[in-house]
Structure 1
Amino acid sequence: MTLQQVRDLAQAIRAEVAKAIVGQDAMVDHLLVALISQGHVLLEGPPGTAKTFLAQAFSTALGLDYGRIQFTPDLLPGDILGSNLFNFQTSQFTLTRGPIFCELLLADEINRTPPKTQAALLEAMQERRVTLDGETHQLPPRFMVVATQNPIENQGVYPLPEAQLDRFLFKLLVPYPDEAEEARIVATYGSRSGPQKPADLGVTPVSNAQMLATASAALDHVTVADEITRYVVRLVRATREHSELAVGASPRAAVMLANAARARAALEGRAYVIPDDVKALAVSVLRHRLTLSPAAEIEGRDVEALVAELIDATQAPR
């Protein structure tokens, strides 16, 4: 698949998702970048902002095997991964696969389950496999997690562990729509009764797993110049040296940012990465990997604002 074909495929996916989702173009663009670069996405926002429906519409347009887990306080790791059950007819244990065995997993309200259950996703998200009773089971090579959560300050939620957060390529903050978009939402859905599915609104698959694998392989044709690589490294290292940040970004963050920039370039049909690719994705890649210092928290500093300051202060290649 050529880079122009990758761009055309992305446009087709955007068009299908737009049949069900009003606005949120930036969210869809980031989901496409994560898809092509084989990363995971965490969507955070207040209830009712279509986080779950966005993931469903995105999955429908992709034509992937879709799984959904509703995270609750009493959810156990076995409810996600599955378990080995004894078959009395064969006198053998048989694997009963959990909902994680799919190509695109919606982890709905992931912060409503305790950290022990959240940790069941760690191996799956990093290595695309799960281990049950000492036996390793491979997940689909394009396995992708789209998780949703409500803001931490709401009641009845558990903060995600740092190791879990670091496995997400992006953390996206889903905003309320503007007035014009909200009017379109009410006009579209206010006349309908009952829950809606993306297919009810005309969303149809425009790709499949093989096409998406070919699109990801096209990233091999995207060049990252040495100057861009050094720019990414300088930006990430600056987070570890900032006086208002207690914890900076890891080397994995630098790798993910570079790969995401390559994917963004490919989705625009370019065979090379430019500094604007890095700048456009840096906040989404870094915001969930940074921890404010106690003094910065007292002063009410904002992580996103600090990242924006670092982007401005870090010299980009021409």
Structure 2
Amino acid sequence: MTLGDVRNLANAIRAEVAKAIVGQDEMVDALLVAMLSQGHVLLEGPPGTAKTFLAQAFSTALGLDFGRIQFTPDLLPGDILGSNLFNFQTSQFTLTRGPIFCELLLADEINRTPPKTQAALLEAMQERRVTLDGETHELGDRFMVVATQNPIENQGVYPLPEAQLDRFLFKLLVPYPDEAEETRIVTSYGSRQGPQRPADLGVTAVAGADKLAAASAALDHITVAQEITQYVVRLVRATREHAELAVGASPRAAVMLANAARARAALDGRAYAIPDDVKALAVPVLRHRLTLSPAAEIEGRDIEALVAELIETTEAPR
């Protein structure tokens, strides 16, 4: 697949998602970058901002096998992974697969279940496989998690463990729509009865596993110059040396940021990454990996503002 084919496929996916989702163009573009670079996405926003519906529409347009888990306080790891049940007719244990066995998993309201259950996703997100009773089961290279969560200020939520947060490529903040977009939403959906499904709104599959695999393979031809690699490393290392940050970003963050820059270049039809790719993606890649120092918290400092300052002060290649 050529870079032109990748752009055409991305435009077709955008057009299908737009049939169901009003606005949120930046969110859709970030999901496309994550899909190409085989990363996972965490969507955070207040209830009612179409986080779940966006994931459903995106999955429908991709044409992937879709799975959904509604995270609740009483959810158990077995409810996610499945379990081996004894079959009395065959006198053997048979695997009953959980909803994680899919290509695109919607982890809805992931922070409403305790960390013990959240940890069931760790192996799947990192290695795209799960282990049950000592036996390993592959999930496939296309496995992707799109998780939603409500802000930590909401009642009945748990903080996500740092190890799990670090496995997400992006944390995207889903905002309220502006007045014009909200008017379009009410006009489109205000007269509809019952639950809305992307397929009911004309969203169809325009990709499929084979096309998506070919699109991801096209990233192998994207050049990331040594100067860009060094820029990514300097930016990530600067988060560990900043006085107002108690915890900086990991080497995994640097790898993910470089891969995401390649994907953004491909979506723009370029065969090479540029510093602007890194700058545009740094905030969603880093915001969930950084922890403010106690003094910075008292002063009311903002993670996004600190990352923006680091981007300004870290020398970029010319």
Q: Same fold (TM over 0.5)?
A: yes
Q: Which residue of 2 aligns with 1:46?
A: 46
- Name the amino acid aligned to 2:316: A
Q: Which residue of 2 aligns with 1:258?
A: 258
Q: State TM-score, norm by structure 2.
A: 1.00
Q: Which residue of 2 aligns with 1:28?
A: 28
Query: For the Cα contact (< 8 Å) 1:101–1:140, is it kept in 2?
Result: no
Q: What SS does the aligned partner of 2:10 have?
A: helix
- Name the amino acid aligned to 2:200: D
The reply on whether 1:111 has 2:107 as its aligned counterpart is: no
Q: Which residue of 2 aligns with 1:5?
A: 5
Q: How does 1:228-239 map to 2 (within 5 A)?
A: 228-239=228-239
Q: How does 1:158-173 map to 2 (within 5 A)?
A: 158-173=158-173
Segments of 5+ residues of structure 2 without an aligned counterpart are none
Cα distance in 2 for partners of 1:208, 1:270 equals: 23
Q: Which residue of 2 aligns with 1:306?
A: 306
Q: Which residue of 1 aligns with 2:85?
A: 85
Cα distance in 2 for partners of 1:41, 1:300 equals: 27
CA-to-aligned-CA distance 1:282-307 (integer Å, 9 cap, x gap) = 00000000000000000000000000
Report deviation, 1:191. 1.1
Query: For the Cα contact (< 8 Å) 1:128–1:141, is it kept in 2?
Result: yes
Q: State TM-score, norm by structure 1.
A: 1.00
Query: For the Cα contact (< 8 Å) 1:257–1:278, is it kept in 2?
Result: yes
The reply on whether 1:286 has 2:286 as its aligned counterpart is: yes
CA-to-aligned-CA distance 1:118-156 (integer Å, 9 cap, x gap) = 000000000000000011011022100000000011110
- Name the amino acid aligned to 2:275: P
Report deviation, 1:252. 0.4
Q: What SS does the aligned partner of 1:171 have?
A: strand
Q: Which residue of 1 aligns with 2:209?
A: 209
Q: What SS does the aligned partner of 2:282 have?
A: helix
Identity of aligned residues (%): 89
Q: How does 1:264-283 map to 2 (within 5 A)?
A: 264-283=264-283
Q: What SS does the aligned partner of 1:130 have?
A: strand
Cα distance in 2 for partners of 1:221, 1:7 equals: 14
Cα distance in 1 for partners of 2:252, 2:231 equals: 15
- Displaced runs of 4 or more, over 2 A: none
Cα distance in 2 for partners of 1:235, 1:23 equals: 31
Cα distance in 2 for partners of 1:289, 1:56 equals: 26
What is the root-mean-square deviation of aligned Cα atoms in Å?
0.4
Query: For the Cα contact (< 8 Å) 1:14–1:28, is it kept in 2?
Result: yes
The reply on whether 1:74 has 2:74 as its aligned counterpart is: yes
Cα distance in 1 for partners of 2:129, 2:224 equals: 29
- Name the amino acid aligned to 1:22: V
- Name the amino acid aligned to 2:186: V
Q: How does 1:113-262 map to 2 (within 5 A)?
A: 113-262=113-262
Report deviation, 1:268. 1.0
CA-to-aligned-CA distance 1:186-232 (integer Å, 9 cap, x gap) = 00000101111001111000010010000000001100001100000
Q: Which residue of 2 aligns with 1:16?
A: 16
- Name the amino acid aligned to 1:148: T
Report deviation, 1:315. 1.1
Segments of 5+ residues of structure 1 without an aligned counterpart are none
- Name the amino acid aligned to 2:219: L
Cα distance in 2 for partners of 1:207, 1:237 equals: 37
- Name the amino acid aligned to 2:62: L
- Name the amino acid aligned to 2:162: E
